[in-house]
A and B are shown apart, each in its own frame.
Chain A
Amino acid sequence: MDIKKEEILHIAKLASLKIKEEEIEEYRKNLQDILEFANIINSVDTEYLEETNGTSTNINFLREDEVNNFKDTDQLMKNAPEQENNMFKIPKVIN
């Protein structure tokens, strides 16, 4: 298995991360090492096994449709780096 530089850049883009040119090789190498180690899972025969997505066994954990508004909505805005008219301000979104 050989992970290419382009793949690292593609994955970084998906994750909204920028990797500096000089760091790419390090990330590439790390990812490759870990995936090589992780390939040990292929030694397990899973042909007849279902996936376990989580260990909670809850079924139909549901909430009644009853309004309970959050009281401190002001506090929700307080951490905003930039806001205007009680909205979060961001650079213009172009479709």
Chain B
Amino acid sequence: MSREDYEAIIGLEVHAELSTKTKIFCSCETNFGGKPNTHVCPVCMAMPGALPVLNKKVVEYAVKAGLATNCEIAPYSKNDRKNYFYPDLPKSYQISQFDKPLCVGGKIEIETEHGTKQIGITRIHIEEDAGKLNHDDYGRNSLVDLNRAGVPLIEIVSEPDLRSSKEADTYLKKLKSILQYIEVSDCKMEEGSFRADVNVSVHKKGEAFGTRTEMKNMSSFRSITRAIDYGIQRQIDVVENGGKIEQDTLRWDEVEGRTYVMRSKEDAQDYRYFPEPDLGTIEVSDEWKEEIRKSLPEMPEQRKTRYIEEFKLPEYDSNIIVSSKYLSDFFEVATKVCNNPKSVSNWIMTDIIRVQNEEAVEKMPFSPEQLGQLIVLIDKGTISSSIAKKVFEELLKQPRNPEEIIKEKGWIQISDEGEIKEIVKKILEDNPGSITDYKAGKDRALGFLVGQAMKATKGKANPQLLNKLFLEELKK
């Protein structure tokens, strides 16, 4: 049997760090870096006698995420302890939520090659992050840094509605964009503030679902896609060879491009969940819920519709722009400055996305206002579009006001008709052959002449005027 005879069932568990100012159960700053064990206190370091107090913003952010993914918000919710020993878990239990999560039963829509598809959200719950393990210089010991311990997380569990790595990728990107839009997480995968564990099973079409395995330790969208493809193929191979899939937890090895067994089902952890006695209950009243709902910003779907209807952008472009909150916000601000959405969109779709890909960065060094100002200069005829490209490169190197750039570089467009006429005459004098060619019906000669004039003016001549004046002269 071939791969086409199988169907894969994929579900994702996403952990996103919430961008609150303080940790989930203590007032330590979350915004850290630098020296280990400096953003800690008796609570997040699990000193004897210390007690947790829940951060209100964490509840609000989780509810916000729930509302943005069409979840029901539980009117009554509580925290539970998940008990296990690990050196990055100072209390030897993680405060999480077990049977009463804050949000349940949501869904989001993704675009697939077969059209729009709904992906169910089983639940969203709040919990605390663990610390970090570093290694000493000799590789003989590990070192525990608890700065990250207690940073708030939401865990978003999807229904097993995904069928391919492509769908999983689209779902994750959509989820990331939603969380960024509602400003509850910065979702930096490379910094670990957005992580996903994957459950995969395969079965022959028309048969019952297979046994699932869980894969961990993927640190980029690419590695998730690779891991899923690998996992599906591995399971099909096992089944094809008459083997049995074990319900294991697997660790993805990015370098080797394969998985290793972390834990088999037999030694599955017994987490001994029980209600956290140090915390009270959480009740999200209808009033509170509505207040949070009101704070939700315009979502990508709504923005897309607005871009298409109001700004007449193509659907394809609109989709790409709203898929990233950064690009979409960039678009909004730049458009406000120059009032030329089409032009902003073009810059984003070509130059900005190119830079993003080439440099593997999300953010431009310059501000959307500066792009807007650049477009204003083009629209006013102060610079030509070819100069504009040079200004853009300059913005990348050393961001500043585009007007300053063109003044400094002497790039202001020559739009004086008399001055351009002089240039045109000079070029025609120097290239009599081109005049003959043009008159013989070779239209290309005009392009050549304009090019020569641009070269002579270092691109500063107004191209429309050049064209017009060359034609006038050639017709004489």
Direct contact of A and B (CB under 8 A): yes
Interface residues of A (CB under 8 A from B): 14, 16, 51, 53-54, 56-70, 73, 76-77, 84-93, 95
Are B280 and A93 neighbours in the complex by a CB distance under 8 Å?
A: no
Interface residue tally for chain B (C-beta within 8 Å): 49
Chain A interface SS verdict (over half): loop
Main secondary structure of the interface of B (DSSP, over half): loop
In the complex, 5 of the A-B residue pairs with CB atoms within 8 angstroms, ordered by the A residue number, are A67-B27, A84-B136, A86-B36, A89-B141, A93-B133
Cα separation A76 to B26 with both chains bound (whole Å): 15
Do A60 and B35 have beta carbons less than 8 Å apart?
Answer: no
State the Cβ distance, B173 to closest chain A Cβ, in Å: 28
Give the docked Cα–Cα distance between A92 and B144 (Å): 11
- 6 new A-B pairs (CB below 8 Å) besides A67-B22, A69-B29, A70-B40? A59-B283, A63-B22, A66-B27, A86-B37, A90-B143, A92-B142
Chain A nearest CB from B151 CB (Å) reads 13
B41 touches A69 (CB 8 A): yes
- B59: nearest chain-A partner, CB-CB: A62
Q: Which residues of A contact B53 (CB under 8 A)?
A: 61-63
B79 CB to nearest chain A CB (Å): 10
In angstroms, Cα B75 to Cα A60, docked, is 12
Closest to A77 in B: B37
Q: Which residue of B lies closest to A63 (CB)?
A: B53
Nearest-neighbor residue (CB-CB) of B87 within chain A: A90
State whether the Cβ of B378 lies closer than 8 Å to any Cβ in chain A. no
Whole-angstrom CA separation of A61 from B270 in the bound complex = 30
CB distance from B228 to the nearest CB of A (A): 21
Q: Is the CB of B270 within 8 A of A14?
A: yes
- On chain A, the residues within 8 Å of B139 by CB distance are 92
Interface pair A54/B142, CB less than 8 Å apart = no
Is B209 interfacial (CB 8 A cutoff)?
no
Partner of A76, one of B47, B136, B281: B47
Pick from B35, B57, B145, B262: contact of A65, CB under 8 Å: B57
Whether B277 contacts A69 by the Cβ 8 Å rule is: no
Query: Once the chains are docked, how many angstroms separate the CA of A57 from the CA of B39?
Result: 32
Please determine whether B54 and A62 come into contact, CB atoms closer than 8 angstroms.
Answer: yes
**In the complex, how many angstroms separate the beta carbon of A80 from the nearest chain B beta carbon?**
9
A70 touches B143 (CB 8 A): no
Residues on B with beta carbons closer than 8 Å to the beta carbon of A58: 280-281
Contacts of A60 in B (CB 8 A): 280-283
Please give, as numbers and ranges, the residues of chain A lying within 8 Å of B41 by CB-CB distance. Answer: 69-70, 73, 76
